[in-house]
Amino acid sequence: MRRAGQVVREVLELVRSKVKPGATTLDLEHAAESRLKELGVKAAFKGYHGFPCVLCTSVNSEVVHGIPSSRRVLREGDIVSVDFGVVVDGYYGDAAITVPVGAIDESAARLLRTTEASLKAGIAVVRPGATLGDVGAAVQKVVEAEGFSVVRDFVGHGIGAQMHEDPQVPNFGEAGRGMKLKAGMVIAIEPMVNAGRPDVKVLDDGWTAVATDGSMSAHFEHTVAVTADGARILTE
């Protein structure tokens, strides 16, 4: 799973380098797809329940599952969330980043910083004996301290020989509640954070989830192994 995670990281960093005003989200898709071809690695999302692309690209108020398109031109001040997974020798890796397009305003920058910090806070409590509630509560606390909202309709997940395995890993909850983590488990922690209300709706394309109130939304994710010594981030 570390090997899968390393490919995920390499491709996400390549995609990050392609984000600039005037680029389309399909340009990002093509960059990722051609690097995967060179590496001979299979994308996890393309074909998953019929999803058409290797990347999910979600711009501004789009929360997750946006479909790359030649019509979606990135503009200065936008933010774009890129979610990406692969399978290597039967094992999955999954991660996401939100990238600023050129210069962004301070409120968007604070949303990105806070969402990434909330992921770090969730990872920081991972160890054998901690609960899923501990993880969710740690994420939620960082987000709500800044006045932002954790999306409830989508959650993280166990990951291994399948991309989505039990348990669900909510980005909210109560410390001490929920399943206890054990060494050897691997989970994807992936806070999705709206600047406004937490509500989301899915557009007519059947995929793209957007913040119902039109506020900006950010998404960061790592695949994280639970070890005797605590968290090991496999997509770092």
Q: What are the residues binding Mg ion (CB under 5 A)? A: 94, 188, 190
Q: Find how far residue 32's CA is from the centre of its chain.
A: 16
Nearer to Mg ion, 188 or 193 (CB): 188
Distance CA 203, CA 108 (A): 23
Residues 6+ apart with CB under 8 A from 78: 59, 60, 100, 101, 104
Give the nearest distance from C-beta 105 to Mg ion in angstroms: 28
Give the nearest distance from C-beta 106 to Mg ion in angstroms: 29
Nearer to Mg ion, 27 or 83 (CB): 83
Nearer to Mg ion, 62 or 190 (CB): 190
Give the nearest distance from C-beta 157 to Mg ion in angstroms: 6
> Residue 117 CB: number of other CB atoms within 10 A?
17
Nearer to Mg ion, 110 or 232 (CB): 232
Give the nearest distance from C-beta 37 to Mg ion in angstroms: 23
Nearer to Mg ion, 116 or 190 (CB): 190
Contact 88, 39 (CB under 8 A): no
Euclidean distance between the first and final Cα of the chain, in Å? 12
Cis peptide preceding 167, ω within 30 of 0: yes
Give the nearest distance from C-beta 147 to Mg ion in angstroms: 25
Contact 77, 70 (CB under 8 A): no
Distance CA 122, CA 111 (A): 16
Distance CA 169, CA 155 (A): 6
Give the nearest distance from C-beta 221 to Mg ion in angstroms: 5
Nearer to Mg ion, 94 or 116 (CB): 94
